[in-house]
């Protein structure tokens, strides 16, 4: 009987721990945001979004042009939709890891840069003769 209670207790503990880990998984679809800005730098918009949600942005300063300004008018939209409106025109994408939103270059843009010769290191390596 004691063995049964011990196993049952361990099982309940395991289930409760799994519930905690599942509840920590976050998505941007469930988060609603209203944002109304006109001609504001993208970096400042990201700071404004951070102040409204429980996520922090992670990105290279080279990806986000500091002088680039945009306007956005979002009323109770999902964070996912707002981020798409901001990032898609810049050929950037995002992914969520815990409480971080990681912004990176869209893979299609990387391929396009390579084809246009903008990525000199990759272009040089690709042009090297096999030997």
Q: Which residues contact 72 (CB under 8 A, 6 or more apart)?
A: 35, 36, 37, 45, 82, 85, 86
For 91-108, what is each residue's pLDDT tens digit?
999 999 999 999 999 876
Whether 103 and 93 have beta carbons less than 8 Å apart is answered as yes
Is residue 18 scored above 60 in pLDDT? no
**Whole-model pTM?**
0.61
Distance between CA 89 and CA 72 in Å, rounded? 12
For 105-114, what is each residue's pLDDT tens digit?
987 644 444 4
Distances in Å between the Cα of 6 and the Cα atoms of 3, 10, 52, 63 are 5, 6, 45, 54
Domains of the chain listed by start with CATH number: 32-115 (3.55.50.30)
For 30-85, what is each residue's pLDDT tens digit?
889 999 999 999 999 999 999 999 999 999 888 887 678 899 999 999 999 999 99
Distance between CA 109 and CA 116 in Å, rounded? 10
Query: Within 10 Å of residue 92's Cβ, how many Cβ atoms?
Result: 18
Beta strands in 42-87 (DSSP E): 56-58, 69-78
Q: At what angle do helices 120-127 and 107-115 cross, to 10 degrees?
A: 60
The DSSP output letter for 67 is T
């Amino acid at each position: 009987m004691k063995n049964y209670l011990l196993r049952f207790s361990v099982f309940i503990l395991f289930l409760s721990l799994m519930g905690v880990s599942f509840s920590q998984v976050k998505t941007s679809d469930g988060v609603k945001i209203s944002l109304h800005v006109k001609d504001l730098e993208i970096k400042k918009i990201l700071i404004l979004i951070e102040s409204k949600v429980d996520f922090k942005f992670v990105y290279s300063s080279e990806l986000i042009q500091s002088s680039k300004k945009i306007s956005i008018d979002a009323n109770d939209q999902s964070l996912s939709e707002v981020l798409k409106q901001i990032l898609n025109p810049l050929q950037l994408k995002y992914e969520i890891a815990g409480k971080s939103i990681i912004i990176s270059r869209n893979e299609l843009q990387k391929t396009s840069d390579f084809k246009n010769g903008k990525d000199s290191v990759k272009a040089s390596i690709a042009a090297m003769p096999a030997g």
